Amino acid sequence: MKPDVNPSSHASAPFDPQQLSRALLDWYGQAGRDLPWRQTRDPYRIWLSEIMLQQTTVAAVIGYYQRFLENFPTVEHLAAAPQEAVIDLWAGLGYYARARNLHAAAQRVVEDFAGSFPAEIDELMSLPGVGRSTAGAISSLAFERRAPILDGNVRRILCRLFAWQDAPRSSRAEKQLWLWADLLTPGQQVHDYTQAIMDLGATVCTPRSPDCESCPLSSFCQARRQGIEQELPLKPKRKKVPVRTEAALLICRDGSYFVRRRQASGLLGGLWEFPTISVPEGKPPEQQAAQLLRDQGVSGRLKSLGKIEHLYSHFRLELHLFHANLAEPQLVNEESGDWCPADELENLALHGAHKKGLTLLGG
C-alpha cells in the first residue's frame, strides 16, 4: 500500500522549515534522551522499540525491551518462537494485538525478506502492525532515509506549530499533517531529527502542559503566538459506545485460580482469562454465573466480588466477578485451562478487564 497523500492539500509554512529543523537539532544535541534503543542502528531493535512504544510510555517499555532481546536476540529467534511465548512475555504491556502482529511480522521478515528488514516505506508497511509512521521511524532511524513520522507526539506538535483548529484525526487533518511532517523533515541528519521531534513531544510539548518557555520552537509556533497552545489539538468528540455485560468466575482451589487461554485469533486472542459468560440484558449476573459454574462441571456457593468497567475501542465492558471456592474432590473441566497460583496472576497475560478485576480480590 502506498502512502496516501493528497497533492491538492497545502504544504507551506509561515516560517523557514530549515531554520526550524536546525533549532530542533541544536536542542536535541543538548537535551536528547539517552534510551537503550538509541545506541543501535539495527532495524530489528528499532522496530521492536517502536512497536512497544505505541500506546505505552518509555518507562514502561525499557524492561520489556531488554527481556525481549534476551529471549529473542534476532528476528529469526522471534519468528521461530511459539506465539504463546511471545504473548506471555508481552504480559502487562497491553494492546496485545501488537504482540501477535510482532510475531507475524518477524515471520514475514524471515520468509519474504530473508531475515533483513527492508528500508523502503511501502515494504515496511506490508509488515503486520507497521503503519506509515512506524515505517517512517524505522526507515529514518535504521537506514537514515528521509522519511517523515506522524505519531501522537508529532501530531500534537504540528497541530500547535501550525495552529490547526480543526479535528486532529479527520481525513483532512491526516493529509495536511502528513504534508507538514514531510515539509519539516530535513534531508540531512534525519535520524537525529526523528529522535528530536519524538523527544520534544515527550518532554516539552506535552499534552496537558506544554513548556513553551523552554521550547526551541517557540519562535516558530503559531499556537503560542495566538495564546491557544493549551487548547490544541482539539479534543475529539466522545462517541457513545455500546455496553456489553459479562460475568467471570474466579474459581479457587488450594490457593490457585482456574484460567483458560482465549483462541489465538479474534478479539484479545491468545490471552488468558477467567471462565466468562455473557449476561443478556435483563438477566441477573448471578444467575449467569451460576449457570457457568454448572457448565464447568461443579456446584458451589458463589460470592460476588463486585463490578469493574473497562473501555475497549468499540465497546464498554461491564464485568461482574464472582468468587467460587472449590472443596475437594470437586474438579472443573480442566482440559480447557490451567491452574495459576494466586501470587502469579499479576504476571499472567490476562486480558485487561480481567487483570483489572484482580483488584477486587484483595478486598
3-class DSSP string for 55-112: CCCHHHHHHHHHHHHHHCCCHHHHHHCCHHHHHHHHCCCCCCHHHHHHHHHHHHHHHH
- Closer residue to ligand SF4 (CB): 174 or 229: 229
CB of 222 to ligand SF4, least distance (A): 8
Cβ atoms of 293 and 300 closer than 8 Å: yes
**Of the residues 23, 124, 197, 215, which one makes contact with ligand SF4 according to CB under 6 A:** 215
For residues 95-126, one letter each, b for 16 or more C-beta atoms within 10 angstroms of the residue's C-beta and e for the rest, the string is ebebbbbbbbbbbbbbeeeeeebbbebeebbb
**Of the residues 224, 262, 323, 351, which one makes contact with ligand SF4 according to CB under 6 A:** 224
CB of 34 to ligand SF4, least distance (A): 22
**Of the residues 118, 148, 168, 210, which one makes contact with ligand SF4 according to CB under 6 A:** 210
212: contact with ligand SF4 by CB under 6 A: yes
Alpha helices in the chain (DSSP H): 17-31, 43-53, 58-71, 75-80, 83-90, 97-112, 121-124, 132-143, 152-161, 171-184, 190-203, 222-226, 285-295, 352-357
Distance of alpha carbon 199 from alpha carbon 186, whole angstroms: 17
197: contact with ligand SF4 by CB under 6 A: no
Go through the chain and tell me how many residues it has: 363
CB of 157 to ligand SF4, least distance (A): 5
203: contact with ligand SF4 by CB under 6 A: no
CB of 211 to ligand SF4, least distance (A): 6
Catalytic-residue membership of 286: no
Of 7-15, 122-130, 146-154, 204-212, the window that binds ligand SF4 (rule: CB under 6 A) is 204-212
- From the candidates 50, 174, 246, 273, give the one annotated as an active-site residue: 50
- The set of cell numbers assigned to 194 is 526523528
CB of 307 to ligand SF4, least distance (A): 40
Residues carrying an active site annotation:
50
- Give me the residues that bind ligand SF4 (CB under 6 A), please: 157, 160-161, 204-205, 210-212, 215, 217-218, 221, 223-224, 229
